[in-house]
Amino acid sequence: MSAGNPLRERVLNGIGLGLLVVCFVAALGRILWKQFAPSQAGEKEKVIRFAHWQLEGGVREGFDAVAAEYMRRHPGVKVMQIPVPERTFQNWLVTQLVGGTAPDLIEMGMGMTDEHRARYFRPVSDIVNSPNPWNKGTSLENTPLRETFIDGLESGFSPTLLEYYGLPVSAFSLRMFYNLDLLKEITGAEKLPATYRELVALARQTREYSERTGRDITPVSGSRTYAPIILRRLFGSQTEQLSSRIAYDFLATGPDSPNAALLSDGYLDGKWSLENPEIVAGLELMRDLSQYMQPGFLQLGRDDAAFYFVQGHALMMATGSWDATSITTQAGFRIGISHIPVPAPGDPMGPFSLGPISDSGAAAGLVMGLTRQSAHPEIALDFLRFLASQPMNQRFSDVSKWAPSVVGVIPSSQAKIFQPFLDGFLGGVRLDFSGADSKRVVSTAYNRLMGAAGSTPAFLEAIKPAYSAALLEDLNRQTLTSRMNAQRTDTTLGALAWMHGQNPADASVSARLDLLLQAAANTDHTAWQTARARARVQAAQSPK
């Protein structure tokens, strides 16, 4: 091309190289400026990053409002929000933690294990018994931080590690959302019925209305994500008594963190089986209601179901308070929100029901924890307390329309219905209680229960061959996790024991030692339970 013109070639090469150098220097300069640039206050700006998976409408704005207020009061601090899609949060979390690039504060839950908590998060137990300084001048000024939350900070507590690992920012509850205009059109009423029996009758009436008018209306919008909300609740209404019989501490731990070892042990030991009348009754309830959801709902994602509902194709949809803002802003009709009924005691539809299910198991949520990788832990902790203070929780709740987690905060009119309902029962255990493998076995067979040609016997036949092995696999994993947790605390225990020996009068060391010993005992107990259950199964499987 330019072989005959070496000067031109040299100039062009020079321009190319020059452009490359300019771009590189500009990029490098930008990064260095971002890292080391002095803030307006003349000091190096300190950046606090916090991550969460709540991408629903209003939440990011709520967080932004609180962060802006914090930055206004602390000119040298920048607070950055990192919203991560729910679908990828679990992978993102593990990658960030293992890779050492985790932000200062992370929303806890979603695949987070005890190992993650113990290894990557700083306990906040030291501050929970002192008042929150940001509550000064409020009704909670002298109240210990722990008592300022509606759940007494149970949501931030790890019962296995016996430490507090985070502070909740909101309260979650599950409710039935409904198309108020459509309900009025079908029934003339503006409120959903209060009993389960009436709800099923309404579903039937809706289907008849759809057939009569030729309109494409489904009684309940379901999906892989939303259907379990209502279906598991129905199942749990039948298994509570069974759960309490098998696991003596079920009432203490609840369905969200059951003593998997005891329940698995009970199953593997023949104390309960998949044919138990409570299990069968729960499954029958699940199947009956699932028939009022749109065909093929098991293949649909959360967004598909919400889209179906806001497009006016479904009368009802069960979901959590977190979706309220998104749904009310997207729907072109009036939205009603109601409690999710379960069969009343004595109702033959659900013969083992004790009564309504309370929200006590999962009252407070959006728990933010402080990572050990935080470059500015004092500031991050201060921001966390700021976020969890009464005035800022009020602001967050006002902007996001989410229910508050702090005592004394007045919820918005929309959030009132989401205030935890505590007058009820816990709800029993689910079949996928033990971990990843029981979940896989159960969820991949749901089509045999809820599909067009499904039935309870077909579902049980599908899961029964693999269920014991799945429980055992989950138990194995639980044993190993417990053992690793115990190993991790050994060094700390040794150091604390030595410090206690040097100075027995030091109350803080003594208290810390007590706590760790108790946690270690719990861990040992779990490991022993799981090992016993495993040994029992292995003995049963070995040739006589």
Residues that bind another protein (CB under 8 A): 90-91, 94, 97-98, 111, 113, 115-116, 119-120, 216, 218, 224, 294-301, 304, 308, 313, 435-437, 439-440, 443-447, 451-453, 462, 477, 480-481, 484, 487-488
Exposure string over 117-151, b if 16+ CB within 10 A, otherwise e = bbebbbbbbebbeebbebbeebebeebebbebbbb
Min separation Cβ 538 and another protein, Å:
15
Cβ distance to another protein smaller for residue 236 or 435: 435
Residue 276 φ then ψ, to 5°: -55, 140
SS3 letters across 159-203? CCCCEECEEEEEECCEEEEEEHHHHHHHHCCCCCCCCHHHHHHHH
Query: At its nearest, how many Å lie between another protein and the CB of residue 448?
Result: 8
How many Cα atoms within 13 Å fall on the side-chain side of residue 540? 13
Q: Other C-beta atoms within 10 Å of 9: how many?
A: 13
Q: Which is nearer to another protein, 35 or 299 (CB)?
A: 299
Min dist CB 331 to another protein, Å, is 17
Using CA atoms, how far residue 492 sits from 53, 123, 196, 311, in Å, is 33, 14, 52, 57
Q: Which is nearer to another protein, 25 or 480 (CB)?
A: 480
Nearer to another protein, 117 or 385 (CB): 117
For another protein, the closer CB: 94 or 417: 94
Alpha-carbon distances, residue 425 vs 190, 351, 353, 355, 466 (angstroms): 27, 15, 10, 7, 31
Minimum separation from the CB atom of position 307 to another protein (A): 8
The CA distance from 63 to 260, in Å, is 36
Structure tokens at 329: 């802003």
- Closest Cα to residue 373, out of 81, 105, 124? 105
Report in angstroms how near the CB of residue 297 gets to another protein at its nearest: 8
How near is the Cβ of 311 to another protein at its closest, in Å? 8
Kindly tell me the burial class for residue 428, based on how many C-beta atoms sit within 10 Å of its own C-beta (0-12, 13-18, 19 or more).
buried
Which CB sits closer to another protein, 109 or 355?
A: 109
Q: Which is nearer to another protein, 113 or 130 (CB)?
A: 113
Answer positive or negative: Cα dihedral of 343, 346, 351, 355: positive
| Cα-based torsion angle of the residue sequence 298, 219, 415, 368 in order, rounded to the nearest 10 degrees | 0
- Closest approach of another protein to the CB of residue 246, in Å: 24
Query: Please, what is the minimum distance in Å from the beta carbon of residue 452 to another protein?
Result: 6
CB atoms within 10 A of CB 25: 10
Are 280 and 385 within 8 A, CB to CB?
no
Q: Rounded CA gap, 301 and 70, in Å?
A: 37
Shortest separation between residue 254's beta carbon and another protein, angstroms: 22
Distance of closest approach, residue 157 Cβ to another protein, in angstroms: 21
Q: Angle 401-404-406 (CA atoms, 0-180°, nearest 5)?
A: 155
Given the complex with another protein, which of 91 and 538 has the nearer CB atom?
91
Length of the chain: 544
By beta-carbon proximity to another protein, the closer residue of 180 and 470 is: 470
CB nearer another protein, residue 461 or residue 514: 461
Q: Whole-number minimum distance, CB 214 to another protein, in Å?
A: 13
Nearer to another protein, 115 or 185 (CB): 115
